[in-house]
């Protein structure tokens, strides 16, 4: 999604803004731009309908000097990716503005502004915002008041950075629904969509709340809430360092993140288990009293995080004995539903900024769920600030658009939750010890499965020229198949669909032929024999099988069947392990296809619009 960077400093800010944009590239975008106030107070702007590298080249040809500026990477919503739709948008050479979000009443505002004689140079919803700020500013208001009056008239979501030629030492920032942080420097201040963008210049941040408007100069940061009351927001010191967002010798962020899963899982467990049991306080000081009251669970999330929820449902019902439903956030938020009493609302999100998941949490609070718990990877994100209980996944920054380590660490936290709830509903100490031992064995087992990378690469060679594929799994391995299919389609652009293997004969089997490879995950569990029968159904129709299987599963290499053995792993933790070869498989196929691994087309890392 769109990325914002801004600065008000004593030094030239062009390179700081450019570096910030590079560090936001992972969010996904299609065009980029920068606007800087020159020392003689001219508003200079450079935009490109392409990547930040092209913006950098353009700035090398036409250097912009000045100490106040804003910059932007755009992920198209209203209007195609193009030069004229790229931000910053400028009104009458006076005011420049960058925006992340969607303005829902832009048509109404556009009509009013046309009547006032404003002209439009883009198809964006954003241009009405800069015009409106200009309109209020020409009515005698200063930039802060003009932005305050403008945001009061906006419906929808926004994070904004605004500068004005007539107030060159001032940067106004505002947010509602889209993320924005202020970077606190010494004699200079910054804004950005996330902390990564600013780590080279500061580690001190103020996280704006919904409705906040900040008046930022070199010397001061003054924040107002939506009622225009001046308020204090704490300065937090980030533990991240500037190299947190670097590839560390890996060819792609995604590969680095896949290989960091053993460490990420170990960190997620750190301090949360002791003497073979889950430490209840790890879920927060109020966790015990909240969990005591819970008799059912509703999990809501999007994409990969939703798949984590689907796996947790199997665990929640089998281990904790609690009814558990799982739903995609974009459906949940608009559905009339029956809320069971004593239900815990669980939201899962890597970024903590996904608009649908956030809206679902807000909706859940209105609809009378007993309590809410968020599982999240980004500290200080909106989701963590709005949920009653919060458990961090501690996967570290995830830069590749395709989520990997965030998913496996979400599963670890979900298992901890299942154990804590299970304890209250008949899970015995011995069973808890056994589950905790499985969790503790994960880093070692993950390391073993990562060693399969070269073999998986060889397997991938047979896929690079395919256009469609089916993924199969059963039980809790069915969501693993869903996640594997999602990874393949998002980074290699090969069409992949997942089915519970038993469902194949009810329709999808019609698709199977020599040109439709079928990928299956086959741990040695209670459903193995059923799965093997389903695989026979595929073979009998000439389908080629690629099976990730336990060595004891009895699935052998044979004509049309290729098996890759995955080290033995117990239930119920098998989904965590079987996810990894599917991540590697998608990765290697996409590399062979020459795809843009870390920034797949059309996708964004942090989906901050509905």
Q: Please give the positions annotated as active site.
A: 2, 605
For residue 229, give the DSSP letter. -
Buried b (16+ CB within 10 A) or exposed e, 109-127: bbeebeeeebeeebebbbb
If the CB atoms of residues 393 and 534 are measured against ligand F6R, the closer one turns out to be 393
Closest CA to 586 of 258, 337, 320: 258
Check residue 302 for interaction with ligand F6R (CB under 6 A). Answer: yes
Residue number with CB closer to ligand F6R (486 or 584) = 486
The CB-of-177 to ligand F6R minimum distance in angstroms stands at 14
The least CB distance from residue 310 to ligand F6R, in Å, is 12
Find the distance separating the first CA and the last CA of the chain, reported in whole Å: 11
**Which stretch in 70-78, 237-245, 297-305, 515-523 sits in contact with ligand F6R by CB under 6 A?**
297-305
Stretch of 63-71, 106-114, 206-214, 348-356 lying at the interface with ligand F6R (CB under 6 A): 348-356
**According to CB under 6 A, which one of 67, 193, 349, 372 is a site residue for ligand F6R?**
349
Residue 470 near residue 519, CB atoms below 8 Å = yes
**For residue 536, what are its two tokens?**
């026979």
Bridge partner residues of 346 (DSSP) = 299, 373
* DSSP count for the chain of H helices, then E strands: 18, 27
Q: Is the Cα torsion angle 247, 250, 251, 256 positive or negative in sign?
A: negative
> Minimum Å distance from CB 325 to ligand F6R?
18
Q: How far is the CB of 398 from ligand F6R (least distance, A)?
A: 8
CA proximity to 404, closest of 219, 576, 600: 576
Shortest approach of ligand F6R to residue 78 CB, angstroms?
A: 20
Exposure class string for 21-34: b at 16+ Cβ within 10 A, else e = bbbbbbbbbbbbbb
Which residue number, 432 or 490, has a Cβ lying nearer to ligand F6R?
A: 490
Q: Of 420 and 607, which CB lies nearer to ligand F6R in the complex structure?
A: 607
CB atoms within 10 A of CB 377: 28
Question: Which whole-number Å values give the CA distances from 276 to 431, 435, 549, 573, in the listed order?
Answer: 10, 9, 29, 16
* Helix residue ranges, H only, 78-166: 106-115, 127-138, 143-151
Q: Shortest Cβ distance from residue 552 to ligand F6R (Å)?
A: 31
Give the interface segment with ligand F6R, choosing from 61-69, 90-98, 343-351, 424-432 (CB under 6 A). 343-351
Q: Which is nearer to ligand F6R, 161 or 303 (CB)?
A: 303
Q: Is 490 in the site for ligand F6R (CB under 6 A)?
A: yes
**Nearest CB to ligand F6R, comparing residues 3 and 303:** 303
Peptide bond into 304 cis (omega under 30): no
What's the angle, vertex CA 526, arms to CA 474 and CA 486, rounded to 5? Answer: 20
* Closest distance to ligand F6R from the beta carbon of 349 (Å): 3
Residue count at the site for ligand F6R (CB under 6 A)?
A: 14
d(CA 604, CA 35): 23
Question: How does DSSP classify residue 319?
Answer: I
Q: How far apart are CA 254 and CA 392, in angstroms?
A: 21
- Site string (353-392) toward ligand F6R, x via CB under 6 A: -x--x-----------------------------------
**Residue 20, φ and ψ in degrees, nearest 5:** -60, -45
CB-based contact 392:283 (threshold 8 Å): no
Single out the residue of 101, 183, 303, 473 in contact with ligand F6R (rule: CB under 6 A).
Answer: 303
Minimum Å distance from CB 354 to ligand F6R? 3
The whole-angstrom separation of Cα 496 and Cα 133 is: 47
Binding flag, residue 351, ligand F6R (CB under 6 A): yes
Does 3 bind ligand F6R (CB under 6 A)? Our answer is no
* Nearest residue (CB) to ligand F6R, 30 versus 432: 30
For residues 349 and 599, which CB has a smaller minimum distance to ligand F6R in the complex?
349
Q: What is the DSSP string of 374-443?
A: EEESSTT-HHHHHSSEEEE-------SSS--HHHHHHHHHHHHHHHHHHHTTT--HHHHHHHHHHHHHHH
Choose one: 236-244, 299-307, 330-338, 576-584; the region binding ligand F6R (CB under 6 A).
299-307
Contact in structure between 448 and 567 (CB atoms under 8 Å): yes
Phi/psi at 145 (nearest 5 deg)? Answer: -65, -40
Q: Give the largest Cα separation in the chain, rounded.
A: 80
Structure tokens at 192: 């950005």
> Residue 483 or 550: which CB sits closer to ligand F6R?
483
Please identify which residue in 305, 343, 393, 599 interacts with ligand F6R, judged by CB under 6 A: 305
Closest residue to ligand F6R: CB criterion: 303
Q: Minimal distance in Å, beta carbon 422 to ligand F6R?
A: 25
Angle separating helix axes 574-592 and 405-423, nearest 10 degrees = 170
Is 330 a binder of ligand F6R (CB under 6 A)?
A: no
Ranges within 390-419 binding ligand F6R (CB under 6 A): 402-403
Please, which residues have CB within 8 angstroms of residue 500's CB and are 6 or more apart in sequence? 472, 473, 474, 478
CB 302 to ligand F6R: min, Å: 4
Please state the closest distance from residue 401 (CB atom) to ligand F6R, in A.
6
Whose Cβ is closer to ligand F6R: residue 36's or residue 348's? 348
Do 282 and 391 meet the contact criterion of CB atoms below 8 Å apart? Answer: yes
User: Which residues contribute to the site for ligand F6R (CB under 6 A)?
Assistant: 302-305, 349-351, 354, 357, 402-403, 486, 490, 607
């Amino acid at each position: 999604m769109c990325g914002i960077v801004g600065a008000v400093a004593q030094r030239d800010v062009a390179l700081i803004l450019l570096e910030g944009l590079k560090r936001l590239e992972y969010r996904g975008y299609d065009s980029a731009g920068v606007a800087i106030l020159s020392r003689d107070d001219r508003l200079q702007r450079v935009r490109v309908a392409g990547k930040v590298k092209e913006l950098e080249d353009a700035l090398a040809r036409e250097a912009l000097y000045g100490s106040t500026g804003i910059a932007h990477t755009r992920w198209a919503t209203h209007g195609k990716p193009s030069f004229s739709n790229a931000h910053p948008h400028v009104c009458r050479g006076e005011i420049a503005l960058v925006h992340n979000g969607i303005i829902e009443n832009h048509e109404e505002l556009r009509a009013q502004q046309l009547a006032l004689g404003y002209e439009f140079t883009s198809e964006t919803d954003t241009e009405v915002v800069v015009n409106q700020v200009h309109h209020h500013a020409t009515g005698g208001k200063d930039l802060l008041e003009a932005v305050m009056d403008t945001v009061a008239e906006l419906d929808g979501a926004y994070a904004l950075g605004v500068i004005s030629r007539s107030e060159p030492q001032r940067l106004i920032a505002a947010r509602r629904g889209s993320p924005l942080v202020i970077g606190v420097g010494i004699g200079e201040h910054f804004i950005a969509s996330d902390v990564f963008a600013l780590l080279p210049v500061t580690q001190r941040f103020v996280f704006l709340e919904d409705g906040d408007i900040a008046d930022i100069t070199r010397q001061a940061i003054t924040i107002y809430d939506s009622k225009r009351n001046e308020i204090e927001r704490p300065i937090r010191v980030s533990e991240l360092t500037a190299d947190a967002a670097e590839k560390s010798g890996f060819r792609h962020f995604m590969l680095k993140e896949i290989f960091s899963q053993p460490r990420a899982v170990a960190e997620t467990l750190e301090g949360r288990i002791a003497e073979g049991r889950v430490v209840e306080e790890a879920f927060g000081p109020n966790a015990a009293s909240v969990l005591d009251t819970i008799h059912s669970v509703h999990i809501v999330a999007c994409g990969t995080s939703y798949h984590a929820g689907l796996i947790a449902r199997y665990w929640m019902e089998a281990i904790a004995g609690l009814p558990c439903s799982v739903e995609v956030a974009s459906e949940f938020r608009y559905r009339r539903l029956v809320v069971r009493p004593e239900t815990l609302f669980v939201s899962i999100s890597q970024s903590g900024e996904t608009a649908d998941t956030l809206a679902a949490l807000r909706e859940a609070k209105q609809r009378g769920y007993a309590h809410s718990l968020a599982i999240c990877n980004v500290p200080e994100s909106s989701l963590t600030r709005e949920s009653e209980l919060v458990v961090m996944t501690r996967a570290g920054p995830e830069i590749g658009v395709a989520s990997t380590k965030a998913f496996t660490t979400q599963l670890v936290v979900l298992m901890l939750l299942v154990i804590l709830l299970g304890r209250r509903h008949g899970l015995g100490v011995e069973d808890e010890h056994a589950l905790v031992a499985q969790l503790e064995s994960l880093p070692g087992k993950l390391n073993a499965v990562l060693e399969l990378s070269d073999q998986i690469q060889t397997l991938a060679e047979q896929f690079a020229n395919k256009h469609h594929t089916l993924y199969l799994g059963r039980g809790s391995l069915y969501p693993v198949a869903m996640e594997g299919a999602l990874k393949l389609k998002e980074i290699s652009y090969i069409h992949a669909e997942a089915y519970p293997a038993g469902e194949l004969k009810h329709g999808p089997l019609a698709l199977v032929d020599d040109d439709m490879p079928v990928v299956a995950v086959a741990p040695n569990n209670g459903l193995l024999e059923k799965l093997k029968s389903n695989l026979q159904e595929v073979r009998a129709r000439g389908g080629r099988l690629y099976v990730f299987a336990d060595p004891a599963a009895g699935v052998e290499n044979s004509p049309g069947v290729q098996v890759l053995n995955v080290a033995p792993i117990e239930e119920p933790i098998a989904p965590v392990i079987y996810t990894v070869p599917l991540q590697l498989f998608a990765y290697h196929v996409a590399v062979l296809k020459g795809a843009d691994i870390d920034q797949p087309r059309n996708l964004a890392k942090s989906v901050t619009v509905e």
